[in-house]
């Protein structure tokens, strides 16, 4: 199994989208890339921690390749808006792809280079090695399963039927 961490605005929708895909084994939402150890949701929302809301995706690369996983990511984000997705504003809502396997970096960079050709504005997606990740509070995990009418900026229906579990 492989892992990748994705920041795409509010982590509830990112998690709900990836949970429905074939090849995704598990997801965990949390906070990452910041300077505060084990922050709370309230601390992250203050904008003082440097953390982004991130979804950890554990996936079977024999079923879902990294490139295909990134294609899905670009279906649910606007990669040209800085610190803003849907109605969410702030540094915690930035977009980013974070990896722990250095062998993934060239594939991620190549994917973004290819995508740049399709946008008239610069892409602002961070690509970094994962520095830290702290799981969010339990009530955030699988939030949209627990709260089906909860807020979600992600269009959960863009996954094609053949891509779903």
Question: Coil, strand, or helix at residue 20?
Answer: coil
Nearest to 13 by CA among 70, 43, 55, 45: 55
CA 140 – CA 143 distance, rounded (Å): 5
CA 126 – CA 120 distance, rounded (Å): 18
Residue 127 tokens read as: 């690509």
Strand order in the sheet with 52-59: 126-129, 95-99, 2-8, 52-59, 24-32, 133-135
Catalytic-role residue among 10, 45, 55, 152: 10
Active site residue 45: no
Q: Exposed/middle/buried for 42, CB within 10 Å: 0-12, 13-18, 19+? A: exposed
Q: Which residues are catalytic?
A: 10
């Amino acid at each position: 199994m492989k892992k990748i961490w994705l920041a795409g605005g509010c982590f509830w929708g990112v998690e709900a989208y990836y949970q429905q895909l074939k090849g995704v084994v598990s997801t965990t939402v949390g906070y990452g890339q910041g300077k505060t150890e084990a922050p709370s949701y309230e601390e992250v929302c203050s904008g003082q921690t440097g953390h982004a809301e991130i979804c950890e995706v554990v996936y079977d690369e024999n079923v879902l390749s990294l490139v295909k996983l990134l294609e899905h990511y670009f279906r649910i984000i606007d990669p040209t808006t800085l610190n803003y997705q849907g109605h969410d504003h702030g540094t915690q809502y930035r977009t980013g792809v974070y990896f722990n396997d250095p062998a993934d970096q060239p594939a991620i960079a190549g994917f973004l280079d290819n995508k740049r050709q399709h946008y008239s504005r610069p892409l602002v997606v961070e690509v970094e090695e994962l520095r830290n990740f702290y799981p969010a509070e339990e009530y955030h995990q699988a939030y949209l399963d627990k709260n089906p009418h909860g807020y979600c900026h992600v269009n959960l229906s863009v996954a094609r039927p053949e891509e779903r579990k």
